[in-house]
Amino acid sequence: MKVFITGASGYIGKATVAALLNEGHFVEALARTEASAKTVSEAGATPVRGGLADLDVLTAAAARADAVIHLAQADSAEADLAAATAMQDGAGEGTYVHTGGTWVYGDTDGIADEEAPWNPPALVAWREAVEEKVLARGRSAVIRPGLLYGRENRLIDVFFTQPGKESGAIPYIGDGTNHWSLVHVDDLADLYVKTLAAKAGAVYVGVGGVDPTAREIATAISNGAGLDGKTISLPLEDARAQMGPIADAFALDQRFTPARAQRELNWTPRHTDPLAILALG
């Protein structure tokens, strides 16, 4: 199968390109810069020069493909919808897979699934209108990943690991009893590949099924960073001042089940001990 992918040089994208190629797919990847083109080319994909604002490029690339995976982050809801629409226009009857996130559900009050009501923090409230329009068209599916770990650890690394290394203790917000619904980036990449065969209108939460508390995660990160398990509580107001609006997302208490993707796509997360992996540094 020929697959067109955006965001291929990013955290999730690099893992997804590798998973696609491992399954024998041919991959074309959007590349805005020369550096991105070099990255995706070295990964084994064919670069398509352009950005998310180059709608004609997106439509043409999608028309050449059997399926499209949209991973890149747009600057606004309007830009994301415009890019998605352009790719759906090109994809026709081919599968289009869009990326959302579990933060849109807010606090889950126990273990939830894809049917949980939306209660998003302001940071991601824009996603609902975009995803509704995406799912209303053609062979479209949405993956809502949990908080990622593994390899670069992106958000966790930027907002927790690096500040903790500088201060000598890894922070957690409030009392740290809230749960984070985690997924390893390699497991998520496998889910994207399997979703190419999903039915139209499918929605999947991409989670590993293990949801440790923020304080447990901070302790594991601390051990991995060589800080001997040292952690520190950060009041939510202080977290907002240091991190911005994303602090409210990190403060959510979320637990999800991957049962739907397991049942419908035969997707089984292979990484089931995130604390052990985070403790490795």
Q: What is the pLDDT of residues 148-177, one digit of tens each?
A: 999 887 899 999 999 999 999 999 999 999
Residues 6+ apart with CB under 8 A from 126: 76, 77
CATH of the domain at 200: 3.40.50.720
Q: Specify the 3-state DSSP secondary structure of 98.
A: strand
Q: What is the pLDDT of residues 202-233, one digit of tens each?
A: 999 999 999 999 999 999 999 999 999 999 99
Residue 105 has what DSSP assignment?
G
Q: What is the pLDDT of residues 68-97, one digit of tens each?
A: 999 999 989 999 999 999 999 999 889 999
- Give the whole-number percent of the chain exceeding pLDDT 70: 100
In a domain, 249, yes or no: no
Name the pTM for this structure: 0.96
Closest CA to 171 of 105, 247, 100: 247
Q: What is the pLDDT of residue 154?
A: 80
In a domain, 252, yes or no: no
Expressed in angstroms, the distance from the first to the final Cα of the chain is 36
The domain in which residue 71 lies consists of 2-148+184-207
In a domain, 280, yes or no: no
What's the mean pLDDT when you consider all of the chain? 97
Rg of the chain over all Cα atoms, to the nearest angstrom? 19
In a domain, 281, yes or no: no
Q: Read off the pLDDT band of 117 (50, 70, 90).
A: very high
Tokens of 199: 């039915």
In a domain, 178, yes or no: no
In a domain, 240, yes or no: no
In a domain, 215, yes or no: no
Q: What is the pLDDT of residue 152?
A: 82
In a domain, 156, yes or no: no
Number of domains making up the chain: 1
Cα dist from 164 to 22, 30, 58, 221, 234, whole Å: 36, 35, 40, 9, 11
139 touches 195 (CB < 8 A): no
Q: In a 10 Å sphere around its CB, with 0-12 CB exposed, 13-18 middle and 19+ buried, how is residue 36 labelled?
A: buried
